[in-house]
Amino acid sequence: RKEVEQDPGPFNVPEGATVAFNCTYSNSASQSFFWYRQDCRKEPKLLMSVYSSGNEDGRFTAQLNRASQYISLLIRDSKLSDSATYLCVVNMDTGRRALTFGSGTRLQVQP
Amino acid sequence: SQTIHQWPATLVQPVGSPLSLECTVEGTSNPNLYWYRQAAGRGLQLLFYSVGIGQISSEVPQNLSASRPQDRQFILSSKKLLLSDSGFYLCAWSPGTGIYNEQFFGPGTRLTVL
């Protein structure tokens, strides 16, 4: 089983749609969680951290379910500029001080 | 504010040639530094990380090595490149205090080994 699993997609949605991505992680001792966005041939950029209570940043909402070891990202009112690959990222309590990245979910927002 | 630089941006090298990629961070002290590789259409693979000058941890056995000669400088090297070394190399930093911090990436170096 992969340490961080994501549906690779692609998710093809029309502008204005709401889309949700899910991610599961294997290590129950994981301490922190993030969503990154990666555009084609560019570096990953931090989209948002995921807090235990859930958090929202504009059109983006992240949720964490520790019992199910599950993280989600909801994007409302999709824009063409949201087209990218979304990476689920987990900092596992292994003492490595390193993040574990999912392979990403590709989103294509269409006009 | 903090910035992270990588160079070169792109590189085409023959098999068997040496490699040196450089990464520098500005605007912070004692950062944790990381080297990742992303093969075409694949996820990020952690290669090395460093918590201080001269301190390098290797994640996977390979023909690559890393060094940290200065607090905010991280270098990835190889004596002889293989075809399988082709990929997108990303340097990242995170604050040195605390273990569970987010990481910030440089623009990357796209390496093609022919």
State yes or no: cis peptide before B61, omega within 30 of 0: no
**Predicted pLDDT at A92:** 79
- Residue B54 in contact with partner chain A when CB distance is under 8 A: no
Q: What is the mean pLDDT of chain A?
A: 92
Say if residues B48 and B32 touch (Cβ distance below 8 Å): no
In this complex, is the C-beta atom of A52 within 8 Å of any C-beta atom belonging to chain B?
no
What is residue B95's predicted lDDT score, i.e. its pLDDT? Answer: 87
B26, two tokens: 């500005």
Neighboring chain B residues of A49 at a CB cutoff of 8 Å: 102
List pLDDT tens digits, range B26-69: 999 999 999 999 988 788 989 999 989 999 988 876 789 999 99
Picking from B44, B94, B104, the nearest residue to A101 by CB comes out as B44
Per-residue pLDDT reduced to its tens digit, A29-74 = 888 899 999 999 999 999 999 988 889 999 999 999 999 999 999 9
DSSP chain A: --SEEE----EEEETT--EEEEEEES-TT--EEEEEEE-TTS-EEEEEEE-TT-EEETTEEEEEETTTTEEEEEE-S--GGG-EEEEEEEE-SSS----EE---EEEEEE-
Interchain CB distance below 8 Å, B99 and A98: no
Residue B98 has pLDDT above 80, yes or no: no
In this complex, do B49 and A34 lie within 8 Å of one another by their Cβ atoms? Answer: no
Best of B30, B36, B38, B102 to mutate (most A CBs within 10 Å, chain A):
B102
Say whether residue B46 is in contact with chain A using an 8 A CB cutoff.
Answer: yes
